[in-house]
Amino acid sequence: MLDYLVTNARIIDPESGRDFMGSLGISGGKIAGLYSPEEGAKERALQKLDAEGGILVPGFIDVHAHSDNDIPCAEKLLAMGVTTVLSGNCGRGAVDFDTFFGEFEESGYPVNQAEMTGLSSLREEAGQENVYQCASAAQREVMKELAGKALDRGAWGISFGIEYTPGASEEELKEMALIASGAGRLITVHVGSRYPGDTDSLAYILEMGMKFGVRVIISHLVYMFVGDPLRKAMEIIDRCRAKGADVWVDSGMYTAFATGADSAVFDEQNITYGGDFHFDRLRAATGKYAGRFIDLEKFREIRRDFPGDSLIYDPGHPEDVFTAYSLKDVMVSTDCIGNPPGQGHPQGAATYPLFFRVMVKERRQFSLHEALRRCTTIPARAMGCGGKGRIAPEGDADLVILDWDRLHERADFPGLGNPDAPPDGVKHVFVNGVLSIENEKRVPGVLAGKCLKGGKPCAL
């Protein structure tokens, strides 16, 4: 007998392209079978769910977030249909993985979570807290030992936040890439920028990835490059792919990015270099001035008195988002991070419904099948999650049922709306076969997500 039988669903498998009306059975956290309406009527199950014609697809896989065991962040992702998240990005991953996984391994988590260890975190643990200085030879030895231990304990790979640690040496980057390669793991990279439009860091990372045979995921493409530099970056990626680089790319649905006020990104010598920074595009995401555009005086006040606050800066144009997604197989990502309630960037609650609304319904840049691939099958391959991102027997029962006509984001920037507002139209969500969202409402007390440990990338 099945645990669950979902009936009357339009079932789409982005991997095979199969698209049909039917039923789906769940047993033991896995997809037990796919049935025609007539076959489904004969199946017995402990519980049945009528999808009412909704679109049943694999749970979305977010390859770039900062959930890092933060429950509210994961709850926002779940409400959008995300069932698996890769966290610890931009160099800020965990170091002690026994402690990290121990926080929710027994109690569960809203979604499945894989975690990277991070270059910045490793540097700090080794004693190098100055982001403008390179790690010493002795510190690099400590970093290598810690990175190796983290990978042994289940880290999914190593993340680089080069813009956040401008002092990191080439030796540090190479040594971390070699450790990831030796363990068969990947690296995710928030590239650096020494001047406006700088693509040198991107080219260097991709060449290094080819040299050491390590899979690279370039993080949030449209946050790193806009305008002509974006097109140049895409050309570099295409050239490296043509030469055999194992490179994947994720991007969001906004040109406005959010990051910590105290980060190197907002150091004054960095934002004033090149004269391309505009305060009329800068607003506070959290804290005293949340939702308000800020001038130089308030900017300095926040960095001095409230360094833990987050700021939002928009360097681009909406067309940059569409350009970024024209690159082959760019994956959807949120960059979601924990923030005080009602503050922060709406990306953590709006990205996926916004993606489908704009890219499929309005612009028709993608078919529904192609859009789903970029949220499911492609990120599953990039991460190496073999049982996820598809609808097939024995696949993981991480599933979303969408009310397509009602699917729409509701979150907005602070000052304009609630950045935490869940979307409309994400009707039901299963995580590991457990119903976690029912009729667009959170099922109380359900924490069905699991720790994902130590993935090895799938072959291209």
Q: What digits encode the pLDDT tens for the residues 198-227?
A: 899 999 999 999 999 999 999 999 999 999
Short-list 36, 58, 28, CA closest to 399: 58
b/e map 15-52, b = 16+ CB within 10 Å = beeeeeebbbbbbebbbbbbbeeeebeebebeeebebe
Query: Which segments of the chain have a pLDDT < 70?
Result: 273-275, 455-460
φ and ψ at 356, to 5 degrees? Answer: -70, -40
> How many Å is the maximal CA-CA distance in the chain?
69
Question: Domains of the chain, with CATH numbers?
Answer: 2-58+393-444 (2.30.40.10), 60-383 (3.20.20.140)
Q: What is the pLDDT of residue 274?
A: 57
Q: What is the pLDDT of residue 459?
A: 39
Q: What digits encode the pLDDT tens for the residues 122-174?
A: 999 999 999 999 999 999 999 999 999 999 999 999 999 999 999 999 999 99
Question: β-strands 45-50, 30-35: how paired?
Answer: unpaired
Q: How far apart are CA 156 and CA 117, in angstroms?
A: 8
Q: How many CB atoms lie within 10 A of CB 207?
A: 14
Q: What digits encode the pLDDT tens for the residues 228-255?
A: 999 999 999 999 999 999 999 999 999 9
Q: What is the pLDDT of residue 275?
A: 65
Give DSSP secondary structure letters for 331-346: EE----B--STT-S-T
- Distance, CA of 5 to chain centre: 30
φ and ψ at 158, to 5 degrees? Answer: -125, 130
